[in-house]
């Protein structure tokens, strides 16, 4: 899942209004932030196999530390503990921790049976990625709902807060739609993990910029 993860992060602002949007995004995207780092150092493995699913050419061979349910529960607990002593930290921690765990649930819906319950444990997946139209419909519906929840939970303090939000949403949506119909595989595994890290850094930075120009409604 791609923008579905962004969707639940945006929606998290409705539950935890004092949580910074970058923290919500890092929670929802944590598995995909950790994954390219582990791929880069050889601790997890992915192959480019066109046709492995209709939607993506990536075969996720092994990612027990970033994407297993048990490890995401542990990572989520660490996030919750980190925020415990901060302003509104208990609520923020619970929400960010839940977002970390939500990654497994959302990927379980879209992935083929490659989502492990624990390192070395059984793997599951509902294979939504084998239906491109259904994938697009589900993710766009989630994304629109999530952005609208964020927009109603906050209000713009200036033009940056107003137009920055909608331009970020438009960029994410356009990127998702383009990628959904672009069947060209990535040129290499190295290009894959480098692009993933750069894209995440840009989006989270942009989100932080927008969030600083908005306030709780």
pLDDT digits (tens, 9 = 90+) for 119-144: 999 999 999 999 999 999 999 999 99
pTM above 0.75, yes or no: yes
pLDDT digits (tens, 9 = 90+) for 8-54: 999 999 999 999 999 999 999 999 999 999 999 999 999 999 999 99
Domain boundaries, the chain: 3-216
Q: What is the pLDDT of residue 83?
A: 87
CA angle 103, 109, 110 (to 5 degrees): 90
- For residue 132, the cross-strand partners are none
User: CA-CA distance, 217 to 210, in Å (whole number)?
Assistant: 15
Q: What is the pLDDT of residue 87?
A: 67
pLDDT digits (tens, 9 = 90+) for 88-111: 678 999 999 999 999 999 999 999
pLDDT digits (tens, 9 = 90+) for 158-199: 999 999 999 999 999 999 999 999 878 999 999 999 999 999
Q: What is the pLDDT of residue 157?
A: 97
Q: What is the pLDDT of residue 85?
A: 73
């Amino acid at each position: 899942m791609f923008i579905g993860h962004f969707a639940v992060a945006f929606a998290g602002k409705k539950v935890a209004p004092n949580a910074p949007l970058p923290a919500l995004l890092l929670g929802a995207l944590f598995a995909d932030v950790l994954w390219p780092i582990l791929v880069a150092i050889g601790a997890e493995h992915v192959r480019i196999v066109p046709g492995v699913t209709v939607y993506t050419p990536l075969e996720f061979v092994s990612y027990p530390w970033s994407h297993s349910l048990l490890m995401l529960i542990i990572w989520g607990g660490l996030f919750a503990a980190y925020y415990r002593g901060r302003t509104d930290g208990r609520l923020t921690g619970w929400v960010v921790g839940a977002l970390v765990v939500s990654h497994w649930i959302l990927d379980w819906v879209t992935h083929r049976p490659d989502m492990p319950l624990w390192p070395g444990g059984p793997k599951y997946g509902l294979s939504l990625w084998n239906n491109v139209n259904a994938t697009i419909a589900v993710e766009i519906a989630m994304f629109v709902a999530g952005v609208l929840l964020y927009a109603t939970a906050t209000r713009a303090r200036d033009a940056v807060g107003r137009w920055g939000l909608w331009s970020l949403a438009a960029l994410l949506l356009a990127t998702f739609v383009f990628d959904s119909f672009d069947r060209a595989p990535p040129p290499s595994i190295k290009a894959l993990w480098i692009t993933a890290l750069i894209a995440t850094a840009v989006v989270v930075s942009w989100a932080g910029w927008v969030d600083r120009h908005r306030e709780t409604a």
